Amino acid sequence: TYVIAQPCVDLKDKSCIEECPVDCIYEGERSLYIHPDECVDCGACEPVCPVEAIYYEDDVPQEWADYYKANVEFFDDLGSPGGAAKTGVIPKDHPLVAALPPQSH
Ligand code: F3S
Ligand code: F3S
């Protein structure tokens, strides 16, 4: 799967959403999250993020390694919604993201 890391927090550019063929990039309050089971690893989202927040799971920089878990665990109580467009903004964030101070860009 691909992973969205810290640069997305409090920015949410959303260019990535347009590129995803399976609509598996979901919006939380402060960040977006890629569904680990719905992502088909097409990689289309990665180059369009203006702040390079998106990484293939094996390529996540060490400082943001915990974001793999954050993207996975975000969906623990959501299961597999099968499409972000119909799900809309999900009123929560992973605790890792929720605990961050406001991010400036
Ligand atoms: Fe976030 Fe980059 Fe997408 S800032 S919303 S991962 S384009
Ligand atoms: Fe979609 Fe990016 Fe995965 S475009 S299928 S979230 S690699």
Candidate from 13, 17, 25 with most ligand 2 atoms within 8 A of CB, to mutate: 25
- Provide the whole-model pTM: 0.98
Please list, residue by residue across 47-79, b when 16 or more beta carbons sit within 10 angstroms of its beta carbon and e when fewer do: eebeeebbbebeebeeebeebbebbbebbeeee
pLDDT tens for each residue of 61-102: 999 999 999 999 999 999 999 999 999 999 999 999 999 999
34 CB less than 6 Å from ligand 2? yes
User: What does the angle CA 104 – CA 29 – CA 94 come to, to the nearest 5 degrees?
Assistant: 95
26 CB less than 6 Å from ligand 2? no
pLDDT tens for each residue of 6-56: 999 999 999 999 999 999 999 999 999 999 999 999 999 999 999 999 999
Distance, in Å, from the CA atom of 104 to the CA atom of 26, rounded to the nearest integer, reads 22
Q: H or E segment at 89?
A: none
Q: Sign of dihedral through CA atoms 52, 57, 59, 63? A: positive
What value of ipTM does the predicted structure carry? Answer: 0.98
Candidate from 10, 14, 31, 52 with most ligand 1 atoms within 8 A of CB, to mutate: 14
Distance from the alpha carbon of residue 1 to the mean position of ligand 2, in angstroms: 8
Distance from the alpha carbon of residue 33 to the mean position of ligand 2, in angstroms: 11
